[in-house]
Structure 1
Amino acid sequence: MAPLSPTARTTLGRLAEKGRTDRAELHALLDTALVAHVGLDAGGYPLVLPTAFAVDLDGPDRDGTLYIHGSTAARWINAARGAKVCVTVTEVDGLVAARSGFESSMNYRTAVVLGEARVVEDADERQHALDLMVDHMVPGRAATIRRPTRKELAATQVLAVPLHEASLKVRQGGPDDEDDDVADNPWGGHIPLYRIAGAPVGDEGSRGPVPDDVRRRAEQLGASVEADS
């Protein structure tokens, strides 16, 4: 498995000691996070948009493939076709309450992926990518729901970005306070943050118990789900 930061563009400069080079850590972040932000040149101005995503480590691109999607009618999707894009994924794990404003910070895991966005034209790959996105939110869900229609597939575009050129930066723990600040102020630390789910809420058309795939995902995220719900 190739290490991270294979190019000068993704080699960290400032706070390089917080950089990680193990691709397994990048994969763990991409497995946990739910939203990616895609940055691109939208025709004379920069544009950054949030999007659902999924990763296929056995995909056609070197070191794995990151898939993102949008409407075929969206201007940004068409602007991204064959263009160089920047995809970022961030999870905030805590608030760092330092003894000075300069050292106040957040604990985080953040990835930056650079690459050329390839439009997924192959029907099988596109369907596979869309299934991965559904399963990224609720693992196993794609196999239990209706398959997309031709009309729905025609309205959906999928872009693939290779995971080869990427960087990962992680901050953990408490503040890096100066010794004088520690002597003058008795407390510094951090507030851990967690993503906690509530119990699944069915819509007006729901009948019967919560499906097993939804129940497992909710429980994985910390929800308490009644057996007969």
Structure 2
Amino acid sequence: MSTTDAPAYEVDARNRVKRRHDRGFYDHETVHALLDAAALCHVSYVIDGQPYCTPTLFWREGTTLYWHGSSASRMLRNLSTGEPACLTVTHLDSLVLARCGFNHSADYRSVMAFGQAKLVTDPVEKRRALVMMVDRFFPDRTASLRQSTDQEIKATAVIAMEIERASAKIRAKGVADDDEDYALPIYAERLPIRTVIGAPEPCPRLMPGVARTADLAHYQAGRLLDDALTDAYAEAYKA
């Protein structure tokens, strides 16, 4: 658990890691790094007493999280006036096979972020956010694209959520059996899991002479997606 004086999210009953406190981190550096290395999140919220959890692309600007969707989306309509929400991301790093079922586990890195989700209604902020929805992943790409029409902008809703509380939880332990179990003749191992970028598949209807562009430089076959997303974020938001 972070004990430094670096900026950190306040800890209370909402975000405190209840079990295995040693795996909990609340500092901005750890939390933000895990968010920036992810593309897909899950947003949880409640409508009329019914819980929902929706997967969506997202991005971070400082301590604000953004995501988007159809203006007709039930999730976005519900969150549009400012509702409590929880956004989560998870990086699965391994499956762990131990010598008993109780000690089977997984290595992972995860974040839970809490706040009040609100619809972005200012036209200038919304257009800027929709640019970063693309450029956060593919730096400066939007400038080379056909510009979105007013109708396309209208059909897309953007939600912003200032992070009020957040916690990261990390397991990086591998096999961890009870001491007496190491003497058992039972096979155990750690299975590393990585999300790796595959070979690009150009659109079959590309115009002749249209080549892969510089905004895709971070996305090379065989590269870890975590690394590509982290580097793209750093370039998109470079000072």
TM-score normalised by L of structure 1: 0.87
Instruction: Indicate the residue corresponding to 1:125 in structure 2.
Output: 125
One-letter amino acid of the structure 2 residue matched with residue 118 of structure 1 = K
Instruction: Select the residue among 25, 29, 35 that pairs with 2:30.
Output: 25
What's the offset of the Cα at 1:22? 2.2
Instruction: Indicate the residue corresponding to 1:68 in structure 2.
Output: 67
1:147-167 CA-partner distances (Å, limit 9, x unpaired): 221101101111111123111
1:31-89 CA-partner distances (Å, limit 9, x unpaired): 111101011112231110100101101xxxxxx10001111111121111211011111
Mapped to 2, the partners of 1:185 and 1:123 lie a distance apart of 65
Check if 1:214 corresponds to 2:186: no
1:46 match: secondary structure:
strand
What's the offset of the Cα at 1:131? 2.0
Structure 2: 5+ residue stretches without partners: 1-5, 226-239
Mapped to 2, the partners of 1:130 and 1:152 lie a distance apart of 11
Please tell me whether the aligned partners of residues 11 and 165 of structure 2 are also in contact (alpha carbons under 8 angstroms). Answer: yes
Please tell me whether the aligned partners of residues 44 and 52 of structure 2 are also in contact (alpha carbons under 8 angstroms). Answer: yes
Mapped to 1, the partners of 2:203 and 2:101 lie a distance apart of 46
Paired-residue identity, %: 35
Paired residues, number: 217
TM-score normalised by L of structure 2: 0.84
Matches within 5 A, 1:1-229: 2-57=7-62, 64-81=63-80, 82-185=82-185, 187-207=187-207, 208-219=210-221, 221=223
What's the offset of the Cα at 1:118? 1.3
What's the offset of the Cα at 1:187? 4.1
Deviates more, 1:208-217 or 1:170-179: 208-217
Please tell me whether the aligned partners of residues 41 and 89 of structure 2 are also in contact (alpha carbons under 8 angstroms). Answer: yes
Mapped to 1, the partners of 2:97 and 2:212 lie a distance apart of 40
One-letter amino acid of the structure 1 residue matched with residue 86 of structure 2 = C
RMSD value, Cα: 1.9
Deviates more, 1:45-54 or 1:156-165: 156-165
Structure 1: 5+ residue stretches without partners: 58-63, 224-229
Instruction: Indicate the residue corresponding to 2:233 in structure 1.
Output: none
